[in-house]
Chains A and B, each alone.
Chain A
């Protein structure tokens, strides 16, 4: 359905034309009625025919009567013509007056409202985040003053925006530095301790050295592995993630992803079979793994994780729910921000990456959480009827 939205300008102009024309037509109607009355009176004054019937004795008197009759008739004709002239020319004058008044009103109204319209457009730009807006002051003094205030405001906003951007960048760098320091320091300490222990035993107790050598090497390898994982997660987040979609069965993919976890964790599956989605399989793996990893980390030892895939119209809704400690309402809006984390060990990149991968695949993701009861992630997947390519 097409919906017309009348602008304020058109409404005001329309109202003016309506009221102005209406009042002029009513006024004109009043004069027309009065003209009709005067015409009636005039018709009764047409007595020249009666005058000519007056009986006169002399030729001289006859001439006088004829002259009176002629003058009266001519005056009546003159009156009639003047009346007609009035009727015609007054209507033409009225029409011109109306047109000129309406055009003048529209012109003045346009001059007054044009700067306001420009202000509205400029405000829209500011709303969209473009603070670099300058309007040349024009129009009436009040409008000029308004434009000056607007320009001051946009300048002020631009300056605040720049300061905010700088502060934000600083904050991001500080957060990043904090995370990197923490995450690098954590594996470095056991590495350092292991090396110190090896060095100490090598000199003082060679027998014991042999005994702890393998154990210390394992610790060092494990921590190097942790460092590599850290680098890997930063690297994944930093690089572009264009989707390379292909058609697959989500049930099979989810089961495959969860296979390594089945023995150690309590996972409840309720997944529709024989469905097909078009998605980047690598991205799908990363998304499920990240959310599932978060779910098991936040759950207690015996905590369950529910994974369901259900139909909703032409979409498939994949839900991953845990009964962990939940996320505070004030943090919910920030969980997809890079480097935002409430975990003691974490880069804050996992969910940010999930969000980015969902966007790359044109998929929506929602999160609901209640403190103490758990968190639920919902991924809205579009079902496809395309066949799976082998």
Chain B
């Protein structure tokens, strides 16, 4: 509770000071509508990160480091977590081949692409199958995303990629009836 409050204050102070004194644009990230459809015993939850990888991400992707976009999936019933899964979408630049290597963990899908546009699209789409057979009634589905800290050897420094999202974790919630 206190942590959440401090985090809110910190984010607001950050946003206010950037608005007043900086030309930093960053990325204002959000999720598009959370869509759900039943496929067999699974509830496939799909959503899409908007404006997530625009400003400054081109240089970051090409740093040659493994960059993971982390997603957290939660299903809650009566405010109790009944299912939790953490997965990532990973990208790594191959300078020799001048292409991006992509790994979408929750879909168990690996691919390579030379197109930044395609890369950004694939990184943004989340499609998680939630096994619903053991549950019924009203369930709240919650998805959020965040970026990790990466260590850049050439400048001998760890940088927090969340800066590019103005330290704000995008999040989405939806109540569904199983």
Q: How far is the CB of B164 from chain A (nearest CB, A)?
A: 7
- When the two chains form their complex, are residues A95 and B96 in contact, meaning their CB atoms are under 8 A apart? no
Q: How far is the CB of A84 from chain B (nearest CB, A)?
A: 5
- When the two chains form their complex, are residues B154 and A88 in contact, meaning their CB atoms are under 8 A apart? no
- When the two chains form their complex, are residues A85 and B163 in contact, meaning their CB atoms are under 8 A apart? yes
Which single residue of chain A is at the shortest CB-CB distance from B26? A84
Q: How far is the CB of B133 from chain A (nearest CB, A)?
A: 44
Additional 8 contacts, C-beta under 8 A, given A73-B63, A78-B154, A95-B20? A73-B62, A78-B157, A80-B59, A84-B26, A87-B24, A90-B22, A92-B13, A92-B18
- When the two chains form their complex, are residues A52 and B60 in contact, meaning their CB atoms are under 8 A apart? no
A-side contacts of B166, CB under 8 Å: 88
B-side contacts of A88, CB under 8 Å: 14, 18, 22, 24, 26, 163, 166
CA distance A25 to B152 in the complex (A): 33
Chain B residues near A (Cβ < 8 Å): 13-14, 16-18, 20-24, 26, 56, 59-60, 62-65, 93, 95-96, 98, 152-155, 157, 159, 161, 163-164, 166
- When the two chains form their complex, are residues B60 and A81 in contact, meaning their CB atoms are under 8 A apart? yes
Chain A residues near B (Cβ < 8 Å): 25, 28, 32, 35-36, 46, 48-49, 52, 62, 66, 69-71, 73-82, 84-85, 87-88, 90-92, 94-95
- When the two chains form their complex, are residues B17 and A75 in contact, meaning their CB atoms are under 8 A apart? no
A-side contacts of B153, CB under 8 Å: 74
- When the two chains form their complex, are residues B152 and A78 in contact, meaning their CB atoms are under 8 A apart? yes
Q: Of A52, A73, A81, A94, which one neighbours B21 at CB under 8 angstroms?
A: A94
Q: How far is the CB of A163 from chain B (nearest CB, A)?
A: 64
- When the two chains form their complex, are residues A81 and B163 in contact, meaning their CB atoms are under 8 A apart? yes
B-side contacts of A82, CB under 8 Å: 155, 157, 159
- When the two chains form their complex, are residues B17 and A77 in contact, meaning their CB atoms are under 8 A apart? no
- When the two chains form their complex, are residues B159 and A85 in contact, meaning their CB atoms are under 8 A apart? yes
Q: Of A70, A80, A87, which one neighbours B23 at CB under 8 angstroms?
A: A87
- When the two chains form their complex, are residues A36 and B20 in contact, meaning their CB atoms are under 8 A apart? no
Residue pairs across A and B with Cβ atoms less than 8 A apart, 27 shown, are: A25-B20, A25-B21, A28-B21, A32-B22, A35-B23, A36-B23, A74-B153, A75-B152, A76-B63, A77-B62, A78-B152, A79-B155, A81-B159, A82-B157, A84-B24, A84-B56, A84-B164, A87-B24, A88-B24, A88-B163, A88-B166, A90-B22, A91-B18, A91-B20, A92-B18, A95-B16, A95-B20
CA distance A48 to B13 in the complex (A): 37
Which single residue of chain B is at the shortest CB-CB distance from A36? B23
A-side contacts of B13, CB under 8 Å: 92, 95
